[in-house]
Amino acid sequence: MAASNDNDIIIEVRDLVVKYGDRTVLDGINFQVRRGEIFVILGGSGCGKSTLLRNLVGLMRPYSGRILINGQDFTAMNDEERTDARKRMGMCFQGSALFGSMSVGDNVALPLREHTRLEESTIEIMTKIKLELVGLGGFGDFLPAELSGGMKKRAGLARAMAMDPEIIFYDEPSAGLDPIVAAGLDGLIRKMQHTFNLTSVVVTHEMESVKQIADTVCMLERGRIVGLGALEELRALDYPYVQQFFARRAQDESQIDSAEYLRSLTGLE
């Protein structure tokens, strides 16, 4: 089909159905992600966001449907092909998933040590660059437990960036962070987009974050898409998150401004 040959489309999901046992948790999902955009998957707890991500990165096989990455059918690949394709994707898991017994630097270096034959000195330089990129220069020798929640997320992002992926996936990057730290992380996600033209797929339930980063919003409710488009286009939609957001927006404007101000102080954008 024309769409999958289009160089601007990096991910295409067609009629995706995912089940756990007999239970259908994603039912007829269709969307496209454009190269270089920030595509946000929004929805309440349990609606299927993490399940969708797991399918997009090939950690789970769908019941039916297709997932095309750069026009190639991810669901039809064998294990080796899928492992290869996954090397070009970065994944920031919910809760950062750093190895507690390894230094932050070793965590970031891990994908390079596992998937490349680069010299140790090269790996060290690349690790340093990735830590600098996320604002953690100088923290390479720390253990994850010595970092704050926001710093752990940044370290997770540095690790996801280790192999210079062309797509990066985030599962609830700002969950459990205070608003200022969350705003800093949003700034970082934007910075990755601007600096590397990186495509990002971000799962969240935070409307504030959506406003800051989303080029396209995909709203999920109980395993189905209930809205797809730019946030402004979804204004008319009868969806509680969006309605609450637009209703509150005027009175929250000052708060949003202060978050922007604080982000400007951190120099992330």
Ligand X SMILES: Nc1ncnc2c1ncn2[C@@H]1O[C@H](COP(=O)(O)OP(=O)(O)O)[C@@H](O)[C@H]1O
Residues near Mg ion, by CB under 5 A: 50
CB of 45 to ligand X, least distance (A): 5
Helices 149-160 and 120-133 pack at an angle, to 10 degrees, of: 130
Pick from Mg ion, ligand X, none: which does 174 bind, CB < 5 to 8 A by kind?
none
In which residue are the tokens 């230094």 written?
103
Q: Which whole-number Å values give the CA distances from 186 to 66, 173, 269, in the listed order?
A: 30, 8, 10
Pick from Mg ion, ligand X, none: which does 251 bind, CB < 5 to 8 A by kind?
none
How far apart CA 255 and CA 258 sit, in angstroms, is 5
Q: Shortest CA distance to 193 belongs to which of 244, 157, 224?
A: 157
Helices 179-196 and 149-160 pack at an angle, to 10 degrees, of: 20
CB of 158 to ligand X, least distance (A): 24
Nearer to ligand X, 21 or 100 (CB): 21
Nearer to ligand X, 47 or 234 (CB): 47
Pick from ligand X, Mg ion, none: which does 46 bind, CB < 5 to 8 A by kind?
ligand X
Asked if residue 25 binds ligand X (CB under 6 A), the reply is: yes
| Segment (H or E) for 167 | strand 167-171
Q: Would you say 269 and 263 are in contact if contact means Cβ atoms under 8 Å apart?
A: yes
Nearer to ligand X, 48 or 187 (CB): 48
Asked if residue 45 binds ligand X (CB under 6 A), the reply is: yes
Pick from ligand X, Mg ion, none: which does 25 bind, CB < 5 to 8 A by kind?
ligand X
Asked if residue 47 binds ligand X (CB under 6 A), the reply is: yes
Which pairing describes strands 38-42 and 216-221: parallel, antiparallel, or unpaired? Answer: parallel
CB of 60 to Mg ion, least distance (A): 13
Asked if residue 204 binds ligand X (CB under 6 A), the reply is: no
Asked if residue 49 binds ligand X (CB under 6 A), the reply is: yes
Asked if residue 20 binds ligand X (CB under 6 A), the reply is: yes
Q: Which two tokens stand for residue 203?
A: 């799962």
Pick from Mg ion, ligand X, none: which does 91 bind, CB < 5 to 8 A by kind?
none
Nearer to Mg ion, 50 or 103 (CB): 50
Asked if residue 51 binds ligand X (CB under 6 A), the reply is: yes
Q: Which of 8, 46, 233, 248 binds ligand X (CB under 6 A)?
A: 46
Q: Shortest CA distance to 152 belongs to which of 123, 138, 173?
A: 173
How far apart CA 238 and CA 215 sit, in angstroms, is 20
How far apart CA 96 and CA 141 sit, in angstroms, is 17
CB of 262 to Mg ion, least distance (A): 27
Q: Shortest CA distance to 227 belongs to which of 37, 47, 36, 10?
A: 47
Nearer to ligand X, 43 or 150 (CB): 43
CB of 159 to ligand X, least distance (A): 21
Q: What is the distance between the terminal CA atoms of the chain, rounded to a whole angstrom?
A: 38
Binding residues for ligand X, rule: CB under 6 A, are 20, 25, 43, 45-51
